[in-house]
Chains A and B, each alone.
Chain A
Amino acid sequence: MKLTLKVWRQKNKEAKGEFKTYQADHVSTDMSFLEMLDVLNTSLIKKGEDPIHFDHDCREGICGMCSLYINGHPHGPLQTTTCQLHMRTFKDGETITIEPWRAGAFPVIKDLVVDRTAFDRIQQAGGYVSVNTGGVPDANVIPIPKKVADEAFDAAACIGCGACVAACKNASAMLFVSAKVSQFALLPQGHAERKERVEKMVAQMDAEGFGSCTNTKACEAECPKGISVTNIARMNREYLSAMFTNYKVEVGGGGD
């Protein structure tokens, strides 16, 4: 099939970007969206034009590296990652507009590549259980109800792609942050630090310049892993509880 592609091109972070239009002929319906771009890039290189830069890695929908805002949807019209989107989803002759994720917290690096390290910094603020390697109890010491483990898994399935931010009209990162907060709020292993965790992660989220959640649920609808907004409610709960009950204790140093 034949397609017209309107692609955002931007030389670097500082440069002003613009849309460029390309014709993609001989597109096979079995191609993945990224393979279609690969083929286009090969033809660009042959013409001596700079290929379109886009992030991708595993190409099996799990690493979260691919992005692209396709025809008004993060990862395109299906609820999946761009690498798992296949051209059979599109119609012959269609015009496809491809934009980078747009958010102040995700600056464009080049073309369709954006900087998502804000997500890493949020995780660094508290997205962990503070245990060192070794010296932990046997894995079966704490039984966890299957239901709880399953729910924790559902939250943990987040791939950190940023589609929630891209989809949200407020560029809010609530779904992403709440997924991690939920995972550890559900599992007993996370309970020791639950209050500090949610406070620190929310503070970092705010510091990165993401917008606030207004419960539009666009994130949930576009999340390739189907992360539920139930997690956002859980995070709100965690945050409220921390805000009203958490306190600081000063510990003296020294010892014998």
Chain B
Amino acid sequence: MFCKSLTSIFGSHQKFPNNMKWVIDLFTSSLGRKLIMALTGLFLISFLVIHCTINAMIFYNDNGETFSHWGHFMGTNPIIRTLEIGLVAGFLFHIVQGLMLVKSNSAARPVSYSVAAPPPQSTWYSRSMGLLGTLLLLFLIMHTAHFWIPNRANQFAHGEELPLYSKMQDVFSNPLIVVLYVAGCVSLFWHLLHGFASAFQTLGLNHQKYNGLISFVGTAFSIVVPLIFALMPIAIYLKWIN
């Protein structure tokens, strides 16, 4: 009797693996993997909003005061620091899963066509997410090498942050770096232009009443955020901000 009611609450021991199969499906089935791409993608999009907002503080042109204030908050607040672990995990999932998808998707067609003429309704950037993502990955490596890694390393080593505002001015004094950053933002633009709406489609959020809104917000976001980001190195290099 007692056993029976326990079973009804928790499920019998033998059933446990069966009912947990969904966790495996989430990481291995084609739809589960897409779901991970969409969820981590949207998560990274939310990160972009914060990142972009805080960095845009430099446009106050107050010698980095507002920017540094918020930058310091983000770099030291324990809640934010904890969330940062999630952010790193989000990046890793998105990148690793993305690369694995690229590999398995290209393996699904072992012999390629000699003539390809994709239909105009299918945009080139939607078909190039792997390429755009790889470019973004390279950009990310460079970008974190410039700021995030040395900053966190310094925090670990000495317990205090680096002066990021002056570091920005330093890094963006090199025209080549500025060009690379702008190129990174352009990749981000194309990546978002497809990725934003695509994430909603993957989550099953496709409805003729709201598709227009999703596509409008997606396009606006893909233009505005990379544009603001791109303006930062340009503005610093051209000394609009000083």
Contacts and interface: CB of A to CB of B under 8 A. Distances in A.
Partners in one complex: yes
Interface of A: 19, 69, 71-73, 77, 97, 99, 102-105, 167, 169-172, 174, 199, 202-203, 205-206, 209-218, 220-222, 229-230, 232-240, 243-244, 246-248, 250
Given A104-B107, A104-B110, A248-B18, A215 B194 contact: yes
A229 B105 contact: no
A210 B108 contact: yes
B75 interface: no
A72 B120 CA distance: 12
Nearest to B121: A221
11 contacts: A102-B109, A104-B108, A215-B201, A216-B127, A217-B126, A221-B119, A233-B202, A235-B31, A236-B35, A240-B31, A244-B22
Given A103-B109, A202-B31, A240 B114 contact: no
B26, B33, B35, B105 interface centre (most CB from chain A within 10 Å) = B105
B109 A236 contact: no
B118 interface: yes
B22, B119, B121, B198 interface centre (most CB from chain A within 10 Å) = B119
A218 B108 contact: no
Interface in B102-128: 104-123, 126-127
B121 A217 contact: yes
Interface string B122-152: 1100110100000000000000000000000
Contacts of B197: 215
B62 to A, nearest CB: 43
Nearest to A231: B206
Contacts of B96: none
Nearest to B28: A206
Interface in B8-53: 12, 15, 18-19, 22, 25-26, 29-35
Given A215-B194, A243-B26, A222 B206 contact: no
Contact of A230 (B26, B33, B206): B206
A161 B126 CA distance: 24
Report whether over half of chain A's contact residues are helix, strand or loop; otherwise say mixed. Answer: mixed
A168 to B, nearest CB: 9
Nearest to B204: A237
A248 B35 CA distance: 23
Nearest to B199: A215
Nearest to A105: B108
Contacts of A236: 31, 34-35, 201-204
B99 interface: no
B101 interface: yes
Contact of A212 (B104, B117, B123): B104
Given A72-B115, A233-B201, A240-B204, A216 B109 contact: no
A93 to B, nearest CB: 17
Contacts of B118: 72, 167, 169, 216, 218
Given A218-B118, A218-B119, A172 B19 contact: no
Nearest to B11: A247
Contacts of B114: 19, 97, 99
A33 to B, nearest CB: 16
Nearest to A215: B198
A9 to B, nearest CB: 13
A233 B197 CA distance: 12
Contacts of B202: 213, 215, 233, 236
A171 B109 contact: yes
B119 A222 contact: yes
Given A206-B29, A215-B126, A234-B204, A170 B117 contact: no
A247 B34 CA distance: 22
A77 B127 CA distance: 19
Contacts of A248: 15, 18-19
Nearest to A199: B25
B191 to A, nearest CB: 12
